[in-house]
Chains A and B, each alone.
Chain A
Amino acid sequence: MLTQPGEPGAATDEQDYLWTLNFGPQHPATHTTLRLVIRLDGERVVDAVPDIGYLHSGFEKIGEHLDYNQYVTVTDRMNYISPMANNVAWHGAVEKLMGIELTPRCKYLRVIVAELARISDHLLCNGAVGLDVGAFTFFLYAFNQREALYDIFETVCGARFTNSYTRVGGLMYDATPLFVEKVRAFARAFPKTLDDMERLLNRNRIFIDRTKGVGLLSKAEALSRSATGPIARASGVTRDLRKDEPYLAYGDFDFQVCCATAGDCLTRYLVRMAEMRESLKIVEQAIENLPSGPVNVGIDQRTALPRKTQVYSTIEGLISHFELVMSNRGFEVPNEECYAAIESPNGELGFYIAGDGSDVAYRARCRPPSYIHFALFPYLIKGHTLSDIVAVLGSLNIIAAELDR
């Protein structure tokens, strides 16, 4: 915390003219609940001290008391802008711990929803950057498309916002032809909106003046400060887990990793815009080549609930169903620990899970990209003006629910 004048360690006499400004925890430009204590020299930011924890709700503690299927509802509430990506990350880690190989159809469907979640997240992030620096129309264009994405998620899992779509070894529901039709319609309509959005801002003088050269992050600093995702890629780190460690079915698709070297707010915006087009390419390829077959793993794996026809007509199905729903049975998990990560919209989203044989995780650590990126903020804002705070905050895409968990 910043010291008050007169306290030991307080600013020396020649710095007495510095102003201390309290930014947040409730402020329209923070979008969520986070607080900054800023020292200002006129309009220049001399120092910024983040004060976080306002939304801390003990998600990791809850993870030690909810079973592997129940906890997915909590992951929805971490980065609530792209809950599908969190679901995929959580159950990806659980399945790695349990050694489950998913069915091809499940992998493709998870890729589709994770990429739609990326588009949804980038739309919100870039829309909010636009809104914060004064481009309100741009924000409305972005949010209109998010509505279409919510509609798709509602079709596939019944929930618009908190999806909880994945289950251990599969998905809650299989995709329907309506879902396929809606994804195709979105893939047809979305590039036009992207073109419109790019025409609105990419050459907009005000927007470029507000973001170019602001919040510079060099490649060495990005690596040293553990940045991942679009923020690292905008600084020249060519790291994308979808290419570097292909998980799910990402090895099957043809797409580019979007990188740039400037490392400022404008570049982060441009990288996100480019990534949406690449995500759309993945979605198109996946929806056209969607494998048929079962979406959940077989009953011999004893993780996903068998279909009702199997429960009522086969003894294996009945046993498997009871083994899973009885409170003293459940999954068999090794006494081991592992870490698995996905390339979430914000960066590397990983879960470190320690299993203790029961169907509740002994430790469920989340590696939240927002938390690690917010630590960059004091470094990025130093020397910029007060009005640049919202541009830098927006370009880091800080989701306070994920920041504090």
Chain B
Amino acid sequence: MLLPETLQALSANFAGLESSEFRGGTRVVVPRDSLLAAMRFLRDQRGFDLLVDVTCVDYLNYRDATDRFGLVYLLTNTTTNERVTIRVFVNEPDLTVPSVVPLWEGANWMEREVYDMFGIRFAGHPDLRRILMPEEFTAYPLRKDYPLQGRGERHNFPVLLRSES
């Protein structure tokens, strides 16, 4: 649920927003350059104090898709119980978006997971390292061009022998 005045205030302050509705939820597509400003506006002016999740969808084989990656930011206002989904689309080769860690501390691990799984870089993130996959891992496993089955990357891992350790 999103109050109409929140959407009006958002579109009055930022140009180039597209919003759509599905099953009672509102999605707003924000250009990458105004992401941080729009998120700051939502947090400070509209009371969206809880960042529920940051995730990403790879639209490689998706029907009618024009962009490769779509980032998803789920925000909640814990006072009015409003929810809004902010979408940002990025394409290769420039897979960089501004980090929202300065706004919500909780974005730290969520953005690290998106980086780990999709290879999206978050500019300004304090500690952008792989989190679930090993540090030696070279691929981004949740991309659609990464297969479900196969030999995987295990044969690339360095082998530690007992005599060397």
CA distance A1 to B131 in the complex (A): 11
**In the complex, A96→B22 CA distance in Å?**
10
Q: Which A residues touch B141, using CB under 8 A?
A: 58, 61
1/0 per residue, CB under 8 A from A, across B24-52: the answer is: 01010000000000000000000001111
Question: Is A224's CB under 8 angstroms from B142's CB?
Answer: no
A371 touches B109 (CB 8 A): yes
How many A residues face the partner with a CB closer than 8 A? 47
Contact residue among A58, A238, A357, A372 (Cβ-Cβ distance under 8 Å from B110): A372
Q: Is the CB of A239 within 8 A of B78?
A: yes
B70-96 CB mask vs A (1 if < 8 Å, else 0) is: 001010001001000100000000000
Selected interface stretch from A140-148, A163-171, A347-355 = A347-355
B153 to chain A, nearest CB (A): 12
* Chain A contacts with B in 262-303, Cβ cutoff 8 A: none
Whole-angstrom distance between the Cβ of B71 and the nearest chain A Cβ: 12
- Interface pick from B11-19, B55-63, B156-164: B55-63
Task: Find B134's partner among A53, A244, A339, A350 (CB 8 Å cutoff).
Answer: A53
Alpha-carbon distance A336/B22, docked complex (angstroms):
8
Q: Taking the complex as formed, is A356 at the interface, i.e. its CB lies under 8 A from any CB of chain B?
A: yes
A393 at the interface (CB under 8 A from B): no
Our pick among B50, B55, B62 for the contact of A365 (Cβ within 8 Å) is: B55
Contact B63 A357 (CB under 8 A): yes
| B55–A372 CB distance below 8 A | no
User: Across the interface, do A244 and B81 meet the contact criterion of CB distance under 8 Å?
Assistant: yes
Q: Contacts A52-B131, A53-B133, A363-B57 known; A372 to B106 CB distance under 8 Å?
A: yes
**Which residues does chain A contribute within 8 Å of B23, judged by CB atoms?**
96-97, 99, 336, 338
Q: Residue-by-residue, is A330-365 near B (CB-CB < 8 Å gives 1, otherwise 0)?
A: 000001111101000000101010101100001101
Known interface pairs A96-B23, A337-B57, A338-B23; A223-B133 also in contact (CB < 8 Å): no
* Cβ–Cβ contact A224 & B133, under 8 A: no
Q: Are B63 and A226 in contact (CB under 8 A)?
A: no
> A367 and B50: CB pair below 8 A?
no
* Smallest beta-carbon distance A48→chain B, Å: 14
Q: Which of A99, A352, A375 contacts B53 (CB 8 A)?
A: A352
Residues in chain A near residue B104, CB distance under 8 A: 224-226
Q: Is the CB of A352 within 8 A of B55?
A: yes
The distance from the CB of B96 to the nearest CB of chain A, in whole angstroms, is 21
- Contact among B50, B57, B107, B148 for A362, CB-based, below 8 A: B57
Q: How far is the CA of A219 from the CA of B142 in the complex (A)?
A: 34
CB-based contact A60/B62 at 8 Å: no
Of B53, B113, B131, B133, most A-chain CB atoms within 10 Å: B53
Return the chain B residue nearest A239 by Cβ. B78
- Contact partner of B132 (CB less than 8 A), chosen from A1, A56, A64, is A56
A338 touches B25 (CB 8 A): yes
B105 at the interface (CB under 8 A from A): yes
B99 at the interface (CB under 8 A from A): no
Across-interface contacts of A224 in B (CB, < 8 A)? 49, 104-106
Please indicate the chain A residues that have their CB under 8 angstroms from the CB of B52 in the complex.
Answer: 226, 228, 341, 348, 350, 367
Q: Is B6 an interface residue (CB 8 A)?
A: no
User: At the interface, yes or no: A198 with Cβ under 8 Å from chain B?
Assistant: no
Given contact pairs A99-B23, A244-B81, A225 touches B74 in the complex (Cβ within 8 A): no
Task: Pick the residue among A61, A363, A371 that contacts B148 (CB under 8 A).
Answer: A61
Give bound CA distance, A52 to B109, whole Å: 11
Q: With the chains together, A96 CA to B83 CA distance in Å?
A: 15
Cα separation A362 to B62 with both chains bound (whole Å)? 8
Contact partners of A354 in chain B: CB under 8 A: 57, 62
Contact partners of A64 in chain B: CB under 8 A: 148
- Whether B72 pairs with A225 at a CB distance below 8 angstroms is no
CA distance A375 to B57 in the complex (A): 23
Contact A375 B25 (CB under 8 A): no
Residues from chain A with a CB closer than 8 A to the CB of B108 are 375
Q: Confirm or deny: A65 has a beta carbon within 8 angstroms of a beta carbon on chain B.
A: yes
Q: Which residues of B contact A (CB under 8 A)?
A: 1, 22-23, 25, 27, 49-53, 55, 57-58, 62-64, 72, 74, 78, 81, 85, 104-110, 113, 117, 130-135, 141-142, 146, 148
Task: Give the 4 A-B CB pairs with smallest separation, nearest first.
Answer: A226-B106, A53-B132, A375-B109, A225-B106
Q: Can you spell out 24 A-B residue pairs with CB atoms less than 8 angstroms apart?
A: A53-B132, A53-B134, A61-B146, A96-B23, A223-B49, A224-B106, A226-B50, A226-B52, A226-B104, A226-B107, A227-B106, A335-B63, A339-B53, A339-B85, A341-B52, A352-B53, A352-B55, A352-B74, A354-B57, A354-B62, A365-B53, A367-B55, A375-B108, A405-B132
